[in-house]
Amino acid sequence: MDEQRKPNSNRKQEQLEQFRVKDEGQKMTTNQGLRVSEDEFSLKAGERGPTLMEDFHFREKMTHFDHERIPERIVHARGFAAHGEFELYTSMTPYTKAKFLQVPGTKTPVFVRFSTVAGSRGSAETVRDARGFATKFYTEEGNYDLVGNNIPVFFIQDAVKFPDLIHALKPEPHNEMPQAATAHDTFWDFVANNQESAHMIMWAMSDRAIPRSFRMMEGFGVHTFRLVNEQGKAHFVKFHWKPVLGTHSLVWDEAQKISGKDPDFHRRDLWEAIEQGNNPEYELGVQLLPEEDEFKFDFDILDPTKLWPEEEVPVQRIGKMTLNRNVDNVFAETEQVAFHPGHVVPGIDFTNDPLLQGRLFSYTDTQLIRLGGPNFHELPINRPVCPFHNNQRDGYGRQTINVGQVSYHNNSLAGNTPEPASGAEGGYVHYQEKVEGRKVRARSDSFQDHFSQATLFWNSMSLAEKQHIIDAFSFELGKVRSKSVRQQVVDMFGNVSLKLAVPVAEAIGANPPQGSGSQSIKSSPALSQENTVKTPKTRKVGVIVGSNFDGAEAMSVLHALIAEGLLVEFISEKLGVLHGSADTECEITHTFLTADSVLFDAIYALGGELLADASNIKAAYFIQEAHSHYKPIGASVDGAKWLEPQMESSPGVITGLLGSEFAASFIEAIAAHRHWDRI
């Protein structure tokens, strides 16, 4: 058959064949064909020193990774944001010269973006994943970005491995599955063969990875930074955001169902809370460590896979952030906002954390392609509130109209302006840390302990939280097809705890790990969500009601719920107004078709005349499902007809009371969030 008569499919296949490359069994090279001698460590000045710009392999690898997706973010693509302000409680003058942290009562505008990490922009929001928690402070000295997560540690210790991590957790390239999920072979193969991830995996398999809402989620700066005062004295610091409503989570079955019922669940929750005036609040906490205490712990404080236990280094709460305004345009603000851990102000500085060092390069590089060039700082959401002056000109998206003939330094035509500012004039001066060492691709021996803090996390969990972790491992590894990978992971986490690894092995058909496991009993109570703030405020209560309900009882209970800051929404057969006794009425906003128990924090069976048979069944299912998710349930008057008999004596189910007495008990049950003793 001559060339012109070949089937198009065959011709195309031949055309593509020259581009098909099999990497298996080959030596690693750069894109220029240069063989690579090391792909685990970036090039540093000494084992604990800073990453060097000379590291062409790291820069090529990271640059390619940063430019792999058009146009959405490679990671953190699914996000939502809000405006607010930060108010300082306590002067931090002894520790930092940052102006927005000097005078108590100082208010600084902020913009916060929350996000999932793994999924695309169209993915569901209640998937099991870490969450981004990025805050832009618009200070008078320039923008400061605190770019963190809802988990205080990370998977890897060196930024050169970040592309590998994301390639492993993203959908597998041969079939683009699964979306926004880590329950697949390549992710767990990465975990088993990169055991520095052990601590992060414990968090990712815990309830922390399925938060109830952005409003009930902690935030962490992850890295160790420095605060530097006017005298040049430095302290190491870790940043925390503590939600005023406490830290709370979904249960796994509930999270999966919400993904189908309302994939916008978290953004809807944030949007509605602000629209209703229930402004989310977070206190900024700092853990401070004098430089002379750098080596006093049994872990390296620069290791991003390690946290500082709060019992050893207390968190000091220094201010509060309130989110009080929704965005006007999601694309212009939420999607175009550009965060960067290198956006700092005088008094906040870096350390030689090798993951942080890599991020200082990666974020700018990412914005260049995602936002179309070097002028992303001129987009309204990214512009600082203070003026900016330099000799940068032109480029895609330039908005500034620079006046004058000079755009270089040094110059005489403009009096050598703009000119650098001295430290006394507010110019940024890097902390003068002594750096020396051979140029090496290596990691400090102090980074080699991968399991002690994973065990610390396990030891700190309640019985219910431990069971959730076992279930999460069993689910995720149950989706892994490779028996070898499943066994490797079980063996790996035998180093954390046999009480974790053995039941997981049994669930997934693997052999139990050999050895005695960790004998450590050290724990940190601050890590358990059982020890968080518990309040009923802003919880959403679904009220199931029929016509001719008891109006007096309803008003007594509902007024008490609303007075405690609870949100009440009515569910019945049809939308519209429903009438009760005592000349009362309620607006039905949900039907059994449009709402589900997973969308509420608690269910109140108010009762009323019997619904149609089908609706009675759905009402009963509402309550049964809420009960299976350990949620508080209340039933007064004839609402108990929808409860199964065995539920009435179940923890967190309030029945047999009326009026204020019922309301008080129900509110207390709601504040508890979940009633795990039903297990």
Residues 6+ apart with CB under 8 A from 621: none
What number of other Cβ atoms are within 10 A of residue 658's Cβ?
A: 14
In angstroms, the CA 615 to CA 617 distance is: 5
Evaluate whether 26 touches 147 at the Cβ level (below 8 Å): no
Identify the DSSP state of 249.
B
Q: Exactly one of 76, 240, 248, 590 is catalytic; which is it?
A: 76
List CB contacts of 86: < 8 A, sequence separation 6 or more. Answer: 100, 107, 108, 110, 137, 284, 319, 320, 321, 322
511: Cβ–Cβ under 8 A, 6 or more apart, which residues?
Answer: 487, 490, 505
- What is the distance between the alpha carbons of residues 470 and 524, in angstroms, rounded to a whole number? 19
Element (H, E) at 86: strand 79-88
Q: Tokens 């500034």 label which residue?
A: 400
278 carries an active-site annotation: no
d(CA 518, CA 644): 44
Catalytic residue flag (residue 149): yes
Tell me if residue 464 falls in helix, strand or coil: helix
Residue whose entry in the numeric block shows the structure tokens 């084992």: 47
**What is each CA distance from 664 to 292, 553, 557, 563, in whole angstroms?**
52, 13, 9, 11
Amino acid at the residue 530: E
Beta strand pairing status for 225-228 and 234-243?
antiparallel
Q: Give residues with Cβ within 8 angstroms of 144, minimum separation 6.
A: 98, 100, 136, 137, 343, 344, 345, 348
Crossing angle of the two packed helices 659-671 and 551-563, in degrees rounded to 10? 40
From the candidates 143, 149, 150, 352, give the one annotated as an active-site residue: 149
Helix axes 185-193, 162-169, angle to 10 degrees: 140
C-alpha 443/C-alpha 302 separation (Å) is: 12
Those residues whose C-beta lies under 8 Å from the C-beta of residue 132, and which sit 6 or more positions away, are 76, 79, 113, 114, 115, 116, 117, 147, 148, 149, 150
Active site members: 76, 149
